[in-house]
Copies of this chain bind each other. A is one copy, B any other.
Amino acid sequence: MPATLKDIAKDANVAMSTVSYVLSGTGIHKVSEDTCKRILASAKRLHYRPNIKARGLSKGRTYMVGALIRQLTTSFIPEIIQGLEKVLEDNGCCLILSTYTDSTEFTRKCNYLYQHGVEGVAVLPEEDLPEPNTGDLGLNRIPVVSIASTLADYPKVWVDPLAVGRMALRYLAELGHREIAYGGTLLPRLQGMLELARHYPGLRCRCQGDLTYRPVGGETLLAWLRTLEPFPTAVITDSDIDAIALIQAATRTGIRVPEDLSVVGVDDLEVGRYSLPALTSIGQPKLDQGARAAELLLDAIDGREIHDCILQPFLVERQSCRKRTN
Contacts and interface: CB of A to CB of B under 8 A. Distances in A.
A89 interface: yes
A277 to B, nearest CB: 9
A267 interface: no
Interface residues of A, number: 51
23 contacts: A1-B141, A50-B115, A51-B117, A52-B117, A53-B57, A53-B116, A64-B116, A72-B79, A72-B81, A72-B82, A82-B99, A85-B98, A89-B112, A94-B96, A94-B112, A94-B113, A94-B116, A95-B96, A95-B97, A219-B276, A251-B251, A252-B276, A271-B271
Contact of A53 (B62, B81, B85, B276): B62
A63 to B, nearest CB: 7
Contact of A57 (B57, B249, B251): B57
A116 B78 contact: no
A115 B81 contact: no
A54 B57 contact: yes
A217 interface: yes
A241 interface: yes
Contacts of A218: 274, 276
A36 interface: no
Contacts of A219: 276
Contacts of A81: 72, 97, 99
Nearest to A84: B97
Given A53-B62, A53-B117, A275-B248, A270 B99 contact: no
Interface in A82-139: 82, 85, 89, 94-99, 111-117
A227 interface: no
